[in-house]
Chain A
């Protein structure tokens, strides 16, 4: 009796799993285990093998699996030579399943990472890391209190970090970047070399501009734009390059020792 009951329960679970992978656009809640070191461990199936325990690490640029998993899940041929830390280099995983969340086509690194090996000694086998190359493809919310992460696809396509890093090391990186405002605002700032305070001085405001209409005046000090601190010209240009013409932006300014918030819609134009 108990075994039939369990079987029923299992097929029920399987059915649930199938359903949730069909509704791939729905947010998916994945429970995690928290190690005594504060690390997040999720249970992951690789090409339908496993589950394996992997760290969820926002500080890791790439997803990484051990050579053991790579062999078992037929990610690489076992005969492939391992070099640095048992690294088989870059590989592609057809399917990576975290809870009921299934990700296709994952670029991973095969490596027996020494830190992971040390952790495995203390907390049982850990077979890799979920890094940026996987998690960036989702909007996610980490909740340590609930021990869960909620994932929803965001259509982001991550760069090939390893290639970008190799290019950088070989000196193939691009020229210096240009930061250019989105939209036309109508003000100018300055930062004197002796000025080490927060923010920038507004030295002119164009009459009739959107920023003049929002209430900015010469002599104000701009502290932030859309929550980004504007302590340097570079900061301000970065923040304005991230804003969107014809959409609301939020400025924090200092006037007569009082902090005010102005809402402005940068005008279309160049």
Chain B
């Protein structure tokens, strides 16, 4: 009897994963990259009808998804008399596709203000609100770079508008006020970042001083003849204590300037000058 009971339990337990795989067939978790802006907003990117990417703020405080009027116009989108527009394809970075998605084609005053003052550091194109969020279970950890969305077997109720367009009661005016101030003070979004490629020097992280393991062909390190077995003593006149340390120094070295490396090779100290590369 005991055997039968155990066998039955074992069978039952063994069946479980199969069931859950079946159920998960429809709803695999999707990892969606996001960024935290300087204004502490969570931003995800989306391509609309294969164009973009556009920046959207993840906003449980927005009842619906908004796509700003200007980028909407540039895609040739037209809204109905209530401001709604159906997007053929709304693809979130990471691979979450919504087809025939309904959005409000207008620029909420919060975005007008934020973009006007360049508060986020990057241009915002819309808000992702309740209507899309509620269909998913969403796991967010701000200390990570990916959030996890899993489609739920759930049809959220259509949200109710509070009092039409002017529920901001005065805040909408603040939005355009901030835009005006922004224009006066010449606020712009962040400059494009500087891109720093690698030097092509592969290093043994456990060695002290740091030892070169390999140098990639045609890399900046290769061009100044850095060799396997070389020891790295100094970076821009600062002593190098660890690979972490060296990586940080390389990342924060001033833009447009050459890199000075002091190297020990066969009891000889060499001073080398390198230009950061374009490749990774």
B49 within 8 A of A: no
A155 to B61, CA, bound (A): 25
Nearest opposing residue in chain A for B202, CB measure:
A269
Contact indicator A206/B191 (Cβ below 8 Å):
no
> Contact flags (1/0) for B63-98 with A, using CB distance below 8 Å?
110000000000000000000000000000111000
Contacting residues, chain A, for B168 (C-beta < 8 A): 114-115
Name the distance in Å between B120's Cβ and chain A's nearest Cβ. Answer: 9
Chain B residues within an 8 Å CB radius of A246: 205
Q: Which one, A59, A118, A176, contacts B192 given CB within 8 A?
A: A176
User: Is residue B264 contacting chain A, with contact meaning CB distance below 8 A?
Assistant: no
Cβ-defined partner of B42 (8 Å) among A58, A117, A231: A58
Task: Select one of A155, A180, A227, A269 contacting B143, CB under 8 A.
Answer: A155
Q: Which residues of B contact A258 (CB under 8 A)?
A: none
Q: Is the CB of A184 within 8 A of B202?
A: yes
Is B205 touching A228 in the complex (CB atoms < 8 A)?
no
* Docked-complex contact A270 and B198, CB < 8 angstroms: yes
Kindly identify, within residues 108 to 152 of chain A, every residue whose CB is under 8 Å from any CB belonging to chain B.
114-115, 117-119, 122, 129, 131-133, 135-136, 139-145
Asked if A142 and B41 sit within 8 Å, CB to CB, the answer is no
- B177-195, CB < 8 A from A: 185, 187, 190-195
Given contacts A140-B139, A177-B190, A207-B217, contact A114 B62 (CB under 8 A): no
B138 lies within 8 A of chain A by Cβ: yes
Which chain B residues lie closer than 8 Å to A180 at the CB level?
196, 250-251
| Known contacts A169-B117, A184-B216, A209-B216: A57-B61 contact under CB 8 Å | yes
Contact residues of A between 49 and 100, Cβ < 8 Å to B: 55-62
Q: Which residue of B lies closest to A196 (CB)?
A: B51
The distance in angstroms between the C-alpha atoms of A220 and B199, with both chains bound, is 23
Given known A-B contacts A119-B162, A179-B194, A144 and B202 have beta carbons under 8 A apart: no
Contact-residue bracket for chain A: 35 or more
CA distance A226 to B93 in the complex (A): 11
Residues of B within 8 A of A26 (CB): none
In the docked arrangement, what's the CA distance between A114 and B110, Å? 13
A141 to B39, CA, bound (A): 22
**Which residues of A have CB within 8 Å of B272?**
none
Decide: A227 and B93 in contact? CB cutoff 8 A.
Answer: yes
Q: Is B28 interfacial (CB-CB < 8 Å)?
A: no
Contact present for A268 and B203 (CB under 8 Å) = yes
| Bound complex: CA A122 to CA B134 (Å) | 22
Q: Is the CB of B246 within 8 A of A179?
A: no
Assess A59 versus B139: contact at CB under 8 Å? Given A176-B193, A184-B201.
no
Q: Which residues in B have their C-beta under 8 angstroms from that of A236?
A: 280
A59:B60 contact, CB within 8 angstroms: yes
- The answer to whether A206 touches B171 (Cβ under 8 A) is no
Q: Are A57 and B60 in contact (CB under 8 A)?
A: yes
**Cβ-neighbour of B140 out of A133, A139, A267 (below 8 A):** A139
> Separation in Å of the B240 CB from the closest CB of chain A?
10
Q: Does A208 contact B (CB under 8 A)?
A: yes
For residue A70, give the distance in angstroms from its CB to the closest CB of chain B.
Answer: 20
- B196:A178 contact, CB within 8 angstroms: yes
Known: A61-B40, A139-B141. Is A227-B94 also a contact (CB below 8 A)?
A: yes
Contact partner of A178 among B185, B194, B243, CB < 8 A? B194
What residues of A have a CB within 8 angstroms of the CB of B159 in the complex? 36-38
Q: B-contacting residues of A (Cβ < 8 Å)?
A: 36-40, 55-62, 114-115, 117-119, 122, 129, 131-133, 135-136, 139-145, 154-156, 158-159, 161, 164-165, 168-169, 171, 173, 176-189, 204, 206-209, 226-229, 231, 233-234, 236-238, 240, 242, 245-246, 267-270
For the complex with contacts A141-B140, A173-B38, A237-B196, 20 further pairs of A-B residues with Cβ separation under 8 Å are A36-B157, A37-B161, A57-B59, A61-B40, A114-B170, A136-B36, A139-B141, A139-B143, A140-B141, A141-B137, A144-B152, A145-B152, A161-B40, A176-B192, A177-B193, A178-B193, A184-B200, A229-B53, A269-B203, A270-B199
Task: State the 6 A-B residue pairs at the shortest beta-carbon distance, nearest first.
Answer: A38-B130, A59-B59, A188-B279, A38-B159, A57-B61, A61-B40
Can you name 18 A-B residue pairings with CB atoms under 8 Å? Answer: A38-B64, A40-B60, A56-B60, A59-B62, A119-B162, A139-B139, A141-B137, A144-B133, A154-B143, A155-B143, A158-B142, A178-B193, A178-B194, A188-B279, A226-B145, A237-B195, A246-B205, A268-B204
